[in-house]
Amino acid sequence: MPPKRPPSIAIATAATKRRRGTAIKPIVSMAVSTSVGTSYQDDDGEDSNPLRKEFLQLLSAPQYKGRGVANSALKAHFGDKYTQLVPIINELTRASRLTMSKANGENEVYFSLLSAVEASKMQGLDAHSKLVYQVIESAGNKGIWTVDIRVQTNIPQATLTKIFKQLETRKLIKPIKAVTAKTKKLYMLYDLVPAKEITGGPWYTEGEFDHEFIAELRNFIIMCVRRMNRGKGVSIQQISDKMVQANISRVQLSLEEVRQLVQTLLHDYVIEERGVTDDGMALFVPAKKITTMCEFGWWDVLCKDFHFRGIRFEDDVVLNAHEPHHHS
């Protein structure tokens, strides 16, 4: 008998024409040529196949959430055992536990694992619905515009609208409005948290810039600067810790977001930077009161040589003749 060839994975992509641009090429079906008829237990129970268990653990890793694991990464990880993944991939695909897609301009295939709950939601979807799901999945937490979905799938708008409604009803995808384009609609997977550049971060509420929330946070920071450490200076880290302790923010703010608030107060000259901690962190204190003009007795102004005088102030700042001055 001639030697048997190792099993191979044949990937069938949607045979659709692209109107413009380079499209993501989602994979709508996978044909596996193998004579092995193996039944695998669901990953909710004890798995008798160690290779399958290792494969599921790899795909379940947090770093692969969203885009999935590249085929090249699978080859590098499993080595000679890579070809033995064929029946496992076949089984998971038939159970709607595995999706595959290609990124823009790439030939690399990415494998994404669906939970048992997600798999049950995928049951009964036709090829077009799965194609739309895979395109949206490839966009990650930044989402994808509806017009881009239409271009990449070549599905008519009327059909797309029905597919969107179906996927939304099953809680597989959700619509998102970006703060930069409120009239347009983005789609992303239902369980993903939108990126900050889409939602505007903590400074936006329901797509609107939240002036009251920011004013409340600014006032709290001013109070921290005035009262903490007897007004001798407070760092951004200390302000951040105090905000968490006081539960002043309805969302958790990162250190960088607290820094942005502090920067607005520096810009308005409500606080100023003075000194550093032992760790090199800047300290902030209440800003000194600023006067934009100097006060003189009226009799000084009447003197003929007034415009030619050099004046020394109480803080030892010297103002030369015709020199503009802003002093504290």
For residue 42, the tally of other CB atoms under 10 A from its CB is 11
* Token pair for 47: 């798995």
* Sign of torsion over alpha carbons 81, 83, 84, 86: positive
Residue 272, amino acid: E
DSSP-derived secondary structure letter, 39: -
Give the CA radius of gyration of the chain.
Answer: 31
With a CB cutoff of 8 Å and minimum separation 6, the contacts of 190 are 171, 172, 173, 174
pLDDT in tens, 198-209: 878 888 887 788
- SS3 state of residue 261: helix
pLDDT in tens, 27-44: 433 333 333 333 334 444
Separation CA 154–CA 177 (nearest Å):
23
Q: Which residues of the chain have pLDDT under 70?
A: 1-47, 66-67, 102-106, 290-328
CA angle 224, 230, 235 (to 5 degrees): 50
pLDDT at 321: 60
DSSP-derived secondary structure letter, 30: E
φ/ψ of residue 152, rounded to 5:
-80, -25
Question: Can you give 89-155 as a three-state secondary structure string?
Answer: HHHHHHCCCEEEEECCCCCCEEEEECCHHHHHHHCCCCHHHHHHHHHHHHCHHHCEEHHHHHHHHCC
Q: Could you tell me if 186 and 145 are in contact, meaning their C-beta atoms sit under 8 angstroms apart?
A: yes
pLDDT at 317: 67
pTM for this entry = 0.51
